[in-house]
Amino acid sequence: MSKANKNTSFYNLIPSLDKLMREDVLVVCAEKFGHQSIKLIAQEVLGYLREKISASDVETISVLGKESAVSDIAEEICARATNALKSPITPVFNLTGTVIHTNLGRAALAPSAVVAMTQAAEQTTNLEYDLETGKRGDRDTVIEGLLCDLTGSEAATVVNNNAAAVLLTLNSLARGKKVAISRGELVEIGGAFRIPEVMTTAGCSLFEVGTTNRTHLNDYASAFELDEVALLMKVHSSNYEIKGFTSSVSERELASLARQKDVPLISDLGSGSLINLSRYGLPSEPTVKDVIADGANIVTFSGDKLLGGPQVGIIVGSKKLIGQIKSNPLKRALRVDKTILAALLGTLRLYQDPASLSHRLPILRNLTRNADDIQALAHEIAPKFVTLLSGIAIVTIEDCMSQIGSGALPLDLMPSSSVVLAPVAEKGQRDIALQKLAKSFRCLPKPIIGRISDGRLFFDLRCLWDKDELLAQLDFLK
Ligand X SMILES: *Cc1c(COP(=O)(O)O)cnc(C)c1O
Nearer to ligand X, 82 or 103 (CB): 103
CB of 284 to ligand X, least distance (A): 17
236 lines the binding site for ligand X (CB under 6 A): yes
CB of 191 to ligand X, least distance (A): 8
161 lines the binding site for ligand X (CB under 6 A): yes
- Contact segment (CB under 6 A) with ligand X among 159-167, 340-348, 363-371, 445-453 equals 159-167
Please select the residue that binds ligand X; options are 235, 258, 296, 444, rule is CB under 6 A.
235
CB of 335 to ligand X, least distance (A): 15
CB of 305 to ligand X, least distance (A): 6
Nearest-CB residue to ligand X? 270
d(CA 48, CA 36): 19
189 lines the binding site for ligand X (CB under 6 A): yes
Q: Are 265 and 180 in contact (CB under 8 A)?
A: no
Of 143, 218, 214, 217, give the one whose Cα is nearest residue 185. 214
Strands 229-235, 265-270: pairing kind: parallel
- Contact segment (CB under 6 A) with ligand X among 15-23, 88-96, 266-274, 320-328 equals 266-274
Burial 378-388 (b: 16+ CB within 10 A, else e): beebbebbeee
268 lines the binding site for ligand X (CB under 6 A): yes
Within 8 A by CB and 6+ apart from 214, the residues are 184, 245, 246, 247, 248
Nearer to ligand X, 105 or 447 (CB): 105
| E strand or H helix at 265 | strand 265-270
Letter for the amino acid at 294?
A: D
Inter-helix orientation angle 69-85/24-33, to 10°: 20
193 lines the binding site for ligand X (CB under 6 A): yes
Q: Is the dihedral of CA 314, 317, 319, 325 positive or negative?
A: negative
Nearer to ligand X, 81 or 312 (CB): 312
Within 8 A by CB and 6+ apart from 83, the residues are none
Q: How many residues bind ligand X (CB under 6 A)?
A: 16
CB of 368 to ligand X, least distance (A): 21
Within 8 A by CB and 6+ apart from 170, the residues are 179, 198, 199, 202, 203, 204, 231, 233, 266
Q: Is the dihedral of CA 306, 307, 309, 313 positive or negative?
A: negative
Please select the residue that binds ligand X; options are 302, 366, 375, 417, rule is CB under 6 A.
302
Q: How many CB atoms lie within 10 A of CB 224?
A: 17
Q: How far is CA 386 from CA 250, 393, 433, in A?
A: 52, 8, 17
Nearer to ligand X, 170 or 470 (CB): 170
Please, what is the end-to-end C-alpha distance for the chain in angstroms? 44
163 lines the binding site for ligand X (CB under 6 A): yes
Nearer to ligand X, 198 or 444 (CB): 198
Nearer to ligand X, 43 or 201 (CB): 201
Nearer to ligand X, 129 or 240 (CB): 240
267 lines the binding site for ligand X (CB under 6 A): no
Of 385, 362, 383, give the one whose Cα is nearest residue 462. 362
Strands 205-209, 229-235: pairing kind: unpaired
CB of 283 to ligand X, least distance (A): 16
| Rounded to 5°, angle at Cα 462 from 468 and 385 | 45
Please select the residue that binds ligand X; options are 94, 153, 248, 271, rule is CB under 6 A.
271
Please select the residue that binds ligand X; options are 96, 215, 238, 358, rule is CB under 6 A.
238
CB of 436 to ligand X, least distance (A): 33
Mask for 392-411, x = binds ligand X (CB under 6 A): --------------xx----
Nearer to ligand X, 314 or 395 (CB): 314
Mask for 305-344, x = binds ligand X (CB under 6 A): --------x-------------------------------
Please select the residue that binds ligand X; options are 210, 264, 270, 423, rule is CB under 6 A.
270
- The helix/strand/coil state of 43 is helix
- The helix/strand/coil state of 352 is coil
In the complex, the residues that contact ligand X under the rule CB under 6 A are 161-163, 166, 189, 193, 235-236, 238, 268, 270-271, 302, 313, 406-407
